[in-house]
Amino acid sequence: MGEWNVTSDTFDTDGTVHKWHGHPVEMEDARMLFRAEDIEYDEETGDLHATGQVYFRNFDRNEQIWCDHLEYNTREETGKFYDVRGETHPRIVTRPGTLTTSSPYHFEGQWAERIGEKYILYKGWVTNCKMPNPWWRLRGPKFDIIPGQRALAYRSVFLLWKMPLFYTPFFYHSLEREPRKSGFLTPNIGHGSQRGFMIGIGYFWAINRSYDVTYLVQDYTARGFAHHVDFRGKPRPGTDFDAIVYGVQDRGVPNSGSPPQKYSGFSLSVMGKSDLGDGWTARGAVNYITSFGFRQEWTQSYNEAVGSEIHSVGFINKNWSNYTFNLVFARLENFQTVEVPIVDPTTGVSHNVANAVTIRKLPEAELSSRDHRIWQNIPLWFSFQSAAGLMSRSEPVFNSTTDPTELIDTYKTGAFMNRLNLAPRVTTAFHWWNFHLVPSFGIHETFYSESQEPYEDRFRVLGTNILRSARDFSADLIFPSLARIYNKKTVFGDKLKHVIEPRATYQYVTGIGSEFDRFIRFDETDILSNTNEVELSLTNRIYAKRGDSVLEIFTWELFQKRYFDPTFGGALVPGVRNVFESTADLTGYAFLVDPRSTSPVVSLLRISPINGLGIQWQTDYDPRQHAIVDSTLSVDYRWKKYFVSAGNNAIHNDPVLLPAADQFQFRAGFGDPNHRGWNAGVTGVYDYRQRVILYSTTQVTYNTDCCGLSVEYHRYSIGILDLSDWRVAFTVANLGSFGTLRKQDRVF
């Protein structure tokens, strides 16, 4: 009998053939178990026949099969099962935002056979829902399954309860940990208020082990075709990339005139990284759009629709000891408005001009050193920053007085303008009692191969070399912290600690003066100006001890600068927006229109008194206006499956600095991607000044033990984009999602 353990009521032996009968008979070894009313086994060939309430289990694969009778060879592990039903445990997908279940795949059919590693099920159906009343089933004449590799279905129908949803002549699903198989993707259907009905289909091409391409085409009946190509690759270990091209052949906006307004174009997004060896790495992110109008018209993202900057950057990096080297390639395109239609006076032909500032680094080499001690026993540290690069800046200049669509000039530097920068710094530190004084002295030497000068109501570029030489001194005085401990137990914790941290920083920069406007702006290096200032800051912190953990539950930081040189060495131009390094490092909002001796008071408040609640409020209070001029508030709270967040961004400053704005954001809901039952969420952005909802999304999802149905309504009203549409997705746990609702567009 070998390694088989058999339990039965009666048995009979004829040579190498054994017959058992019982209620039931059990035949088991380390690999598998057979249970039936009658079992006949040939010890020489390994053939086994079982009848009457047959049960089979494979321990290695965690598979169970029930059938009326079976024929099986225990040596080759091949056989046939009749009037069969069974189940096998799947590979559980745990990707964020993916519906998962631990329920096994259940299958039933007229008969099934096992050939090697393959199972073939005939005239049956499969599901991963709890039995006996599954939410969904895939029914077909033939299923071909290799556990751990793939599952195939032929001429099958997907049923939700008993209602057929779709028919597919061929369906493939990978069971591998990293699935890769060429084939057509599930079609999707949708509808939009401006684009009409949409039908889309895609194909995934697994080129080889290192590369694959996904192509999707969508036909918007009212507008045209949209194409999406995603090319991914991993040429070698440590190197990978992902390139996405999205393009639209727009037939024109309905009822927009004759000819209709078209927004054809494409966008390109490429991300990649590579380990070059010996500590060298390369990373890059390339983004490009043909026009801002195309982006606003065809984007599916609210953040993209309101974002006016396109960033591309690639760099090669190496860090060693105290040094860092970067070779940077960068492109920044900042759209001021949508494209401006310009008429050529010679031909009379109209064409659009992008109203955008474009800055390029082609490339720039950066070498920097962190603070390191010069001599072992002397408190003196040295650091430096240096860069040498080929720069470029261009932007169109429009008539701002008579006709704002009239192109009167183009501001443009050379394609490869030179800029070299060297900024060494020496720092020391003195300590007395709990006072700390950290003085620092730095030199800034920057060479430009071109400069600019005022010309009429704008600037123009000159091919004149210019050297900027600046010196700066700073002293950071850190006062002793004041602290008090409250041992009384409160709702916030077992005990509380209040800490007050005062600080003062003096900075003096000289050498630039009124030459500031001669330097072409590329990045933060070019906004250094003369200054003579002191910054005062006061920070309040409250810590709560909860058991063995200490948490910072309250932080309030106050900053203000006092300027002893209100004109910044003559760099300030009255009546226009001025941005200098000494103002940009204080607040993200510009505040200089004319000379002033004090900055706004910057307040940053962070509160998290209880688990799940977070509040942050950043404001700029201007003593001149006796009012808060800029404010950003956000409140977030989560309790169990409930979540709510609200925020407000308000600008009430001088319109020369920024246009006034007052927008509210709101988000609330219940549930998460794996919560069984009802889930609902809503997101909205409301512009109080315009009295309009810029963006809103409402999603309702019902998840069962094995699948989920999501319905979402989107509404955009941003610039030229005025769109509303419905998106639907049907999700099968551990398989994927089918429909028009993409993962990145879901509320949860």
pLDDT of residue 59: 87
Rounded to the nearest 10°, the torsion over CA 275, 281, 282, 285 is 100
Per-residue pLDDT at 318 exceeds 70: yes
pLDDT digits (tens, 9 = 90+) for 242-295: 999 999 999 988 887 788 888 899 999 999 999 999 999 999 999 999 988 888
3-class DSSP state of 607 = strand
pLDDT of residue 95: 59
Torsion region of 278: left, alpha or beta (phi above 0 gives left; psi -120 to 50 gives alpha): left
Q: pTM, whole model, 2 decimals?
A: 0.82
Of 69, 102, 104, 99, the closest CA to residue 84 belongs to 69
| Dist CA 621 CA 642 (whole Å) | 35
Which tokens sit at 698?
């409402």
What proportion of the chain, given as a percentage, has pLDDT over 70?
A: 96
- Mean pLDDT along residues 220-229: 93
Q: Which single residue is written with the structure tokens 């910072």?
A: 552
Per-residue pLDDT at 333 exceeds 60: yes
Query: Of the ranges 203-207, 351-355, 599-603, which one carries the lowest mean pLDDT score?
Result: 351-355
pLDDT digits (tens, 9 = 90+) for 444-459: 999 999 999 998 888 9
Which tokens sit at 123?
């005239």
CA angle 649–650–654, rounded 5-degree value:
145
Name all contacts of 405-410 with Cβ < 8 Å and 24+ positions apart. Answer: 405/340, 405/341, 405/342, 406/342, 407/340, 407/342, 407/353, 409/458, 409/460
pLDDT band, very low/low/confident/very high, at 347 (cuts 50, 70, 90): low
The neighbour count for residue 505, using CB atoms within 10 Å, is 17
- Mean pLDDT along residues 330-340: 88
Q: What's phi and psi for 43, nearest 5 deg?
A: -65, -30
Task: Round the average pLDDT of the chain to a whole number and report it.
Answer: 90
Tell me the one-letter amino acid at 577. R
Centroid of chain to Cα 566: 42
pLDDT of residue 526: 97
Which carries the bigger pLDDT value, residue 27 or residue 197? 27
| Dist CA 304 CA 465 (whole Å) | 39
Per-residue pLDDT at 322 exceeds 50: yes
Residues 6+ apart with CB under 8 A from 18: 1, 6, 11, 12, 40, 41, 42, 43
pLDDT band, very low/low/confident/very high, at 1 (cuts 50, 70, 90): very low
Of 235, 241, 239, the closest CA to residue 285 belongs to 241
Eight-state DSSP code of residue 513: G
Q: SS3 sequence, 642-705?
A: EEEEEEEEEECCCCCCCCCEEEEEEEEEECCCCCCEEEEEEEEEEECCCCEEEEEEEEEEEECC
- Mean pLDDT along residues 25-42: 93
Tell me the one-letter amino acid at 480. P
Which tokens sit at 552?
């910072």
pLDDT of residue 116: 80
E strands in 511-600 = 531-546, 549-563
pLDDT band, very low/low/confident/very high, at 149 (cuts 50, 70, 90): confident
Q: What's phi and psi for 624, nearest 5 deg?
A: -65, -40
pLDDT of residue 337: 82
Could you tell me if 31 and 59 are in contact, meaning their C-beta atoms sit under 8 angstroms apart? yes
Q: What's phi and psi for 289, nearest 5 deg?
A: -130, 150
Q: Which single residue is written with the structure tokens 């002793």?
A: 480
What proportion of the chain, given as a percentage, has pLDDT over 90?
A: 66
pLDDT of residue 65: 94
Could you tell me if 672 and 681 are in contact, meaning their C-beta atoms sit under 8 angstroms apart? no
| Dist CA 265 CA 298 (whole Å) | 9
- Mean pLDDT along residues 564-581: 95
pLDDT digits (tens, 9 = 90+) for 589-600: 999 999 999 999
End-to-end alpha carbon distance in the chain: 58
3-class DSSP state of 565 = coil
Per-residue pLDDT at 99 exceeds 80: no
| Dist CA 582 CA 590 (whole Å) | 11
Of 715, 726, 746, the closest CA to residue 188 belongs to 726
pLDDT band, very low/low/confident/very high, at 92 (cuts 50, 70, 90): low
Could you tell me if 665 and 302 are in contact, meaning their C-beta atoms sit under 8 angstroms apart? no
Q: Which domains occur in the chain, in start order?
A: 5-174 (2.60.450.10)
Of 42, 64, 43, 45, the closest CA to residue 55 belongs to 64
The neighbour count for residue 525, using CB atoms within 10 Å, is 17
Per-residue pLDDT at 346 exceeds 70: no
pLDDT of residue 160: 87
Which carries the bigger pLDDT value, residue 98 or residue 133? 133
One-character DSSP codes across 160-177 = ETTEEEEEEEEEEEE-SS
Which carries the bigger pLDDT value, residue 94 or residue 730? 730
pLDDT digits (tens, 9 = 90+) for 159-185: 988 889 888 888 877 666 556 678 888
| Dist CA 527 CA 519 (whole Å) | 9
pLDDT band, very low/low/confident/very high, at 688 (cuts 50, 70, 90): very high
| Dist CA 693 CA 464 (whole Å) | 50
Torsion region of 238: left, alpha or beta (phi above 0 gives left; psi -120 to 50 gives alpha): left
Eight-state DSSP code of residue 624: T
Give the burial string for 486-503 (b: 16+ CB within 10 Å, else e).
eeeeeebbebbbebebeb
pLDDT band, very low/low/confident/very high, at 345 (cuts 50, 70, 90): low
Of 659, 645, 722, the closest CA to residue 689 belongs to 659
- Mean pLDDT along residues 384-397: 95
pLDDT of residue 619: 96
Pairing of strands 661-670, 196-206: unpaired
Of 77, 91, 7, 61, the closest CA to residue 736 belongs to 91
CA–CA distances in Å: residue 196 to residues 249, 294, 738: 15, 18, 20
CA–CA distances in Å: residue 567 to residues 504, 532, 570, 580, 653: 22, 10, 5, 11, 20
pLDDT digits (tens, 9 = 90+) for 490-524: 989 999 999 999 999 999 999 999 999 999 999 99
- Mean pLDDT along residues 215-240: 94
Query: Of the ranges 461-465, 530-534, 718-722, which one carries the lowest mean pLDDT score?
Result: 718-722
3-class DSSP state of 155 = strand
One-character DSSP codes across 174-243 = E-SSS----EEPPPEEEEETTTEEEEEEEEEEE-SSSEEEEEEEEEETTTEEEEEEEEEEEEETTEEEEE
